Amino acid sequence: MTQGRPTVAVLIALAWWLLLQTAGARAAADETARPAIAPLPERLSDTGLFTAGSVTEITSRTLPFSPQYPLWSDGATKRRWLSLPPGTFIDASNPDAWVFPVGTRLWKEFALGRRIETRFIERVADGTWRFATYVWNAAGTEATLAPAGGVPALVLEHASRGGSYAVPSEIDCRACHEGAAVPVLGFSALQLSPDRDPLAPHAEPSAIDLRALVAQGLVRNLPASLLEVPPRIAARTPTERAALGYLHGNCGHCHSAPSASDASVPVTVVFAQSVVRGNSSAQAVLRSLVDAASRFRPHGGADVPSRLVVPGQSTASVLPLRMRSRDPRVQMPPLGTALPDDRAVALIERWIDQDLNDNETIEQEEKLSWAATSNPQNPAASSGVTARLGPSTPPRSR
């Protein structure tokens, strides 16, 4: 204090105090304004999935569905359901990022001989999503809320496969779901397209598809072109379609275009397909993979793979190597699986060995790009629909 006046230090301290007081008041006001959110039910039977008094009969307003490119979960049998609040709908104005209404609920049941767990996602009153897992008792009479930290080693005495089972933590759930443009995985224009991929590994028929959702008014504002020509991954062969589809469904929620999600992994590998960008989306995926250098460097000296996909040489490609491994330092995906998906690895290897080669890759990519931008009759060119390549891309001879 100098001649009755505060020093600069005092003024700065006073300014910080006022700033903190203002911030605290705003935070308190925001907390007060935030809608009250009820805690998660302790029992799965209280989440709205089942009819009253049952743990097997699903409510009539709950929709069963099955994505055409499902996630690999170590061979577990899965069932999935979605429920929307009465009178609401999903806004599909952006076909790649559907907007789900507050009150949306989804369940996914995992079984290995018996029901093991049911995962639950809900969009709550403040617009955020919450994630939970319910673990079934051995008798199958009820599932109870798991700790937020998960159950690292759940014993499976009565399951078809012995040993233990890892129930994911809330952080594990968010690590995958929040990497995507929308936290809901598997319920999208591509995954529910009526033009389903017959070679997709582990896929099952879906009780509802895109056209039925629109007809029932549950999905609105979807571009009409996506009903006229249903979404489909643009590919040069059926095997490539299935391979790219599998990578989209199992890896695309993290490996997406950087602009699609702030949570995308900071590498140039892209697996996520876009129904808006159509053929150019498939081309972008191929360009990020084929002959692309890998940042991953496994131990083993100069002979280990250094490129993601080497046409005609799956043994020299990093992609199948990481899919096959379950060494935590190597495996991909890094979460949610303890066993390699042998069927999918075989599909990827077949695509690399039989469908790709050095001489054709560039030529075919150019044709793929040309079909997406130069053919006015191609829905993918005029409306961004992911459509099959027409006569503009002749069949390959092998």
Q: pLDDT (tens digit, 9 = 90+) per residue, 202-222?
A: 999 999 999 999 999 999 999
Choose between 393 and 238: higher pLDDT. 238
pLDDT at 24 over 50: yes
Least reliable range by pLDDT among 50-54, 68-72, 159-163, 231-235: 159-163
Residues 203 and 299 reside in one and the same domain: no
Q: How many angstroms separate the CA atoms of 27 and 31, rounded?
A: 6
Residues 98 and 171 reside in one and the same domain: yes
Residues 239 and 209 reside in one and the same domain: no
388 within a domain of the structure (yes/no): no
Residues paired with 111 in a beta bridge:
77, 115
Asked if the peptide bond before residue 183 counts as cis, ω within 30 degrees of 0, the response is no
CA-wise closest residue to 112 among 44, 158, 51, 169: 158
Span 277-284, mean pLDDT?
A: 90
Phi, psi of 232 (to 5 degrees): -155, 135
**Each residue of 99-146: pLDDT tens digit?**
999 999 999 999 999 999 999 999 999 999 999 999 999 999 999 999
Q: Which of 222, 255, 285 is the last residue of a domain?
A: 222
Q: Looking at residue 28, what is its pLDDT? A: 53
Residues 72 and 168 reside in one and the same domain: yes
**Each residue of 242-258: pLDDT tens digit?**
999 999 999 998 888 76
pLDDT at 183 over 50: yes
Q: CB-based burial of residue 11 (10 Å sphere; 0-12 exposed, 13-18 middle, 19+ buried)?
A: exposed
- SS in 3 state form for 23-77? HHHHHHHHHHHCCCCCCCCCEHHHCCCECCCCCCCECCCCEEECCCCCCCCCCCE
313: tokens are 């040489």
Q: What is the dihedral of CA 101, 62, 182, 136, to 10 degrees?
A: 130
Residues 197 and 248 reside in one and the same domain: no
Q: Looking at residue 152, what is its pLDDT? A: 87
Please state the pTM of the whole predicted model: 0.81
Q: Looking at residue 256, what is its pLDDT? A: 84
Mean residue pLDDT of the chain comes to 83
pLDDT at 378 over 80: no
Residues 341 and 241 reside in one and the same domain: yes
pLDDT at 161 over 80: no
Sign of CA dihedral 330, 242, 160, 43: positive
2 within a domain of the structure (yes/no): no
114: tokens are 């018996």
Sign of CA dihedral 336, 46, 90, 182: negative
Q: Are strands 77-83 and 63-65 parallel, antiparallel or unpaired?
A: antiparallel
Residues 274 and 195 reside in one and the same domain: no
Q: Looking at residue 34, what is its pLDDT? A: 66
CA-wise closest residue to 75 among 340, 253, 350: 340
DSSP symbol at 172? H
Q: Amino acid letter at 259?
A: S
Choose between 363 and 137: higher pLDDT. 137
Contact criterion met (CB below 8 Å) for 298 and 304: yes
Q: Looking at residue 372, what is its pLDDT? A: 44
Q: Looking at residue 357, what is its pLDDT? A: 76
Span 271-282, mean pLDDT?
A: 91
Contact criterion met (CB below 8 Å) for 385 and 231: yes
pLDDT at 388 over 50: no
What residues contact residue 259 under an 8 Å CB cut-off, 6+ apart? none
pLDDT at 13 over 70: no
Q: How many angstroms separate the CA atoms of 236 and 216, rounded?
A: 34
**Each residue of 285-301: pLDDT tens digit?**
999 999 999 988 766 65
169: tokens are 């933590």
Residues 157 and 253 reside in one and the same domain: no
Residues 81 and 202 reside in one and the same domain: yes
Domain count, the chain: 2
Least reliable range by pLDDT among 82-86, 138-142, 170-174: 170-174
Span 150-169, mean pLDDT?
A: 76
Q: Amino acid letter at 313?
A: Q
Q: Looking at residue 322, what is its pLDDT? A: 95
Residues 159 and 209 reside in one and the same domain: yes
Residues 271 and 137 reside in one and the same domain: no
pLDDT at 11 over 50: no
Least reliable range by pLDDT among 81-85, 115-119, 311-315, 358-362: 358-362
Q: Work out the pLDDT band at 268, boundaries 50, 70, 90.
A: confident
Q: Looking at residue 164, what is its pLDDT? A: 79
Q: How many angstroms separate the CA atoms of 256 and 254, rounded?
A: 6
Residues 262 and 359 reside in one and the same domain: yes
27 within a domain of the structure (yes/no): no
Helix (H, G, I), strand (E, B) or coil at 226: helix
Phi, psi of 130 (to 5 degrees): -120, 150
Residues paired with 91 in a beta bridge:
99, 220
34 within a domain of the structure (yes/no): no
Least reliable range by pLDDT among 100-114, 165-179, 260-274, 331-345: 260-274
Q: Which of 198, 222, 246 is the last residue of a domain?
A: 222
pLDDT at 387 over 80: no
Q: Which domain holds residue 371?
A: 233-383
What Å distances lie between residue 352 and 202, 237, 347, 355, CA to CA?
20, 12, 9, 6
